[in-house]
Amino acid sequence: MTRRSFLQAAAKTIFTMSFGGLFSSRSAHAAADGIHHLRQIVTANPARTRMIQWDSPQLLQNVRVELRSPHKQVESLIPAYTYLSMDDEVQFIYHAEISFAEDSAYRVTHAGSATEWIPLLGVGNPVRALLFSDSQCGESYDVWRTTYQTAWQRHPDADAVAIVGDLTDNGESAWHWRSFFEAMEAAGAPLARHPHIPVLGNHEYYGLQWTAVPPVRYLRTFALPDNGSRDFRGHYYSFDLGAVHCMVLDTQFLEAEERGAALRAEQMDWLRKDAAASTAPWKLVLMHKDILAYGDYQVEQNTNHGISDVGQVFLDTFDHLGIDLVVSGHVHAYRRRQMRARQTDKNGTLYLLAGPAGNEYFNVPAETYDIIAGPDPTPSNYLYLEADAQHLHIRCETTSGAVLDTVDLQK
């Protein structure tokens, strides 16, 4: 466990047990009864395919995902589902991967009821994305709601969303996951209209007793691109988003406990092969834990400053692979660094530390590698990214409208 899990564990556990059943999980854009948190999840080829998912408290009868072509022809697909019984609740989590052409739409039907038709939107050039980190909240997810919805109001043309770990405060809590999704459901239905890119954080590994457990709920909640792994499917994956090749990593080697060494070795081998095989102009890594310690105790090095345990694993490999940008979270602060050979270098990999997107704020010490640092504590924020083959632009914006930093990279 990290220091964060101890700060409010007792209060949050009591709140979850007492009030978890009072919140509705009904989506504003899922008109069919029993369809909750209708969402699009990224696939290996998000320009032409999407994973459609939703939750239901019961097994649905005659359930279908219908795909309407630009010529109004309708194709019907039977979704698969997984069963989850956790935190005294039962869920059936449905998923169906669909291929689509421009100007297509989809809906979900079952037993004579149906959602509205939802357009399937392609990926633009330049590609535009919103990146959040640490959306976890205590007691209420209102701050996450404000951060997420404000970002969409400012950037309605965004193609995709990434959430870089610690999506919820507790990985097994039904109330936390329900509140997380409800905060993302509003007018315009971005959750159901745009692909979302989840990343594992340490809180996804926390059980109801605030001890490390396998991230079962996360892995059931998101049907993610295949990584070829037998033991760690869903922990890491990659895809192309326009001119950007994105690699999503699991940095929770400590929380994985006895499986941590195997996760690290397998993932590193995959990362080298995956990055080397890509011909995309930009290579982006999304991972939760940062390359620097920022006051967090590093178990393997017995220190709380400088390069973190995770940084020791990845820094040299990122140099070798020519990674352009790494976005991380975990620290709940904004920092910009640019490094190569473990030194500040204007030609090195750009490392951006983002968040919080929720209501967990911390005072964070400086590191000598910092080029730009946000306020301390850093207010709720997100990153807005635009990229084409020659240019990558990224900006850190707070929910109040302040711009904390702007960075431009050129090829």
Q: First-to-last CA distance in the chain?
A: 41
Topology of the domain comprising 127-410 = Purple Acid Phosphatase; chain A, domain 2 (3.60.21)
Strand pairing report for 160-164 and 195-199: parallel
Residue 373 to residues 82, 202, 297, 393, Cα–Cα distance (Å): 43, 23, 21, 18
d(C-alpha 304, C-alpha 16), whole Å? 32
- What pTM does this model have? 0.92
Angle (nearest 5°) at CA 383 between 377 and 164? 80
Q: Give the per-residue pLDDT at 164.
A: 98
Q: Give the per-residue pLDDT at 28.
A: 40
Three-class SS string for 369-394? CCCEECCCCCCCEEEEEEECCCEEEE
Write out the residue limits of the CATH 3.60.21.10 domain(s) in the chain: 127-410
Q: Give the per-residue pLDDT at 193.
A: 96
Residue type, 291: I
> For residue 11, what is the enclosing H or E element?
helix 9-19
At residue 7, φ and ψ (nearest 5 deg) are -65, -40
Selected from 1.10.10.10, 2.60.40.10, 3.40.1170.60, 3.30.70.100, the CATH number assigned to the domain covering 36-119 reads: 2.60.40.10
Helix 174-182, helix 9-19: angle, nearest 10: 80
Strand pairing report for 195-199 and 237-241: unpaired
Which are the contacts of 37, defined by CB distance < 8 A and separation ≥ 6? 25, 27, 30, 53, 54, 55, 178, 181, 182, 185, 191
3-class secondary structure, 191: helix
Residue type, 299: V
Q: Give the per-residue pLDDT at 33.
A: 84
Q: Give the per-residue pLDDT at 24.
A: 35
DSSP 141-177: -HHHHHHHHHHHHH-TT--EEEEES--SS-TT-HHHH
Query: Do 174 and 87 contact (CB within 8 A), yes or no?
Result: yes
Q: Give the per-residue pLDDT at 85.
A: 98
Write out the residue limits of the CATH 2.60.40.10 domain(s) in the chain: 36-119
Q: Give the per-residue pLDDT at 112.
A: 76
> For residue 247, what is the enclosing H or E element?
strand 244-248
Which are the contacts of 254, defined by CB distance < 8 A and separation ≥ 6? 202, 212, 260, 299, 309
Residue stretches of the chain with pLDDT short of 70: 1-31
d(C-alpha 251, C-alpha 202), whole Å? 8
